[in-house]
Chain A
């Protein structure tokens, strides 16, 4: 069993109570820090630990917090991202249902570090039970003096509210999330200015994924060096919540050291593929990453090792496909998802994704032509000109389908049918 940090209080079918969280060292970081450290000290420790964002982009958290201008405007805000609509990703749901106070303590500490006075937890509609848990536990934390006015008797005050989304993938993008929170149409906004300078209502705002937040109390309580020692890789410290789904025996969410190999995660923790199924490919970090083939199964799952072979960690949601699964059809499904969830603001995304979807549909239906392949490549290139990261993310599985499985695509065109179907 690997050391469990974020999941130290995870129990089957039950949420850790505030008391259990406290007994495991919870809220100790808060008493250690509040009123004793400066906000800058907190940022510096988090930066020293080299905590990187767990929502997909992997931006260094300490650096993000230091981006809030010292002399900047007040009030300031924290936005905790629990929107999680990347296909294959469900770690935030598991975390909320395992130990909600760890998320709350992380948010309070991030507020202390950046001088924020109000925080929002942005929750998607299908996590209504999570939203209710968070609201209940916020009240408990407030009653215990960990939240609200004069936290632990100091002059530091911070309030948290749960904001329910109406449900749309783009809301998980940080700037779109801020628009959504303010009751505006959730189109992304291209920085600069960054949200840390000009976010909610034009005020400095820190947007972090809730898994990122949950790491913060542990770093402050145990120190940056301890945190780095949790990892098996030198560049990406800490543990990571890996979600494994698709063709595996035991789909689930596992907390493992950063740098655990993909093979170990799939074969040992997720129980390997069912009998008669052979590994064909996986998406290593959710729907907006590239197909990874068996030659890279021994890659260490951390930011640097994946980047070195041309892949992205994303949300570390590993979706496994077996030899019987048609990857043209998978890519068609993913492309349809992105086309439907595009906010429609910019042309490459709004027009390009349905175009790609149409070409893939025709190939899958046996109506494909050889010329479709260069057409797909050209359109994927255009997607990189989009306004936000949605379209380049959507291009990733399509581009890697052609890189790794061009023969399979050509076979569809040659046979004028899907070769995977009987």
Chain B
């Protein structure tokens, strides 16, 4: 367990307990990866190796899953990940112009991370909030009935919060 040994003790115990309670270890693959990417920021090669040790899977088997799911990040992402719904209903309610607004405010293209490492914007299919379209998820929290002003408020709040954290300007 060369890589898993490098994880914080409490996290390792929590993961080991989750795995022990399930039918088979690999059943917990998504939960384990979600917890590890919460710690590392994304599923780095080291995180993948640690997870595959814990789950008794080969790194390749785990890679098949890590690259399959929309909410497992195999590449570095920003502190806040924004998933913008681009399905038909949100599209009817002005998704395209809102996305343009969001990207120009952050000065990035879709799929990119801002220079300060705060935000990544990714496309996502229907989030299941069509009654509140247009919608997006920010760090897995839903925001619906989006307008340009609402997006600005969400971004401003997150930027202010990050500036108030110790060690940040």
Contact = CB atoms under 8 A, between A and B. Distances in A.
Contacts of B87: 87, 287, 333, 337
Chain A, interface size category, equals 35 or more
A201 B34 contact: no
Interface stretch (B6-14, B66-74, B108-116, B159-167): B66-74
**Most B CB atoms within 10 A — which of A166, A251, A340?**
A166
For chain B, give the interface size range: 35 or more
Nearest to B29: A183
Interface in A335-364: 337, 340-341, 343
Contacts of A127: 128
Nearest to B69: A166
The winner among A89, A126, A325, A337 for most chain B CB atoms within 10 A is A126
Contacts of B126: 85-89, 287, 337
A128 B140 contact: yes
B46 to A, nearest CB: 20
A185 B131 contact: no
Contact of B89 (A85, A246, A340): A246
A330 B92 CA distance: 8
Contacts of A341: 125
A128 B71 CA distance: 12
A168 interface: yes
A246 B130 CA distance: 8
A317 B68 CA distance: 26
Contacts of B25: 183
A90 B88 contact: no
Interface of A: 84-90, 92-93, 118, 124-128, 163-169, 181-186, 200-201, 243, 245-247, 251-253, 287, 317, 319, 321, 325, 330, 333-334, 337, 340-341, 343
Given A167-B69, A185-B64, 14 more contacts: A90-B131, A93-B129, A125-B70, A126-B128, A127-B128, A166-B68, A182-B24, A185-B65, A200-B23, A245-B130, A287-B88, A287-B126, A333-B86, A333-B87
Interface of B: 23-31, 33-34, 55, 57, 64-65, 68-72, 83, 86-89, 91-92, 124-131, 133, 137, 140, 142
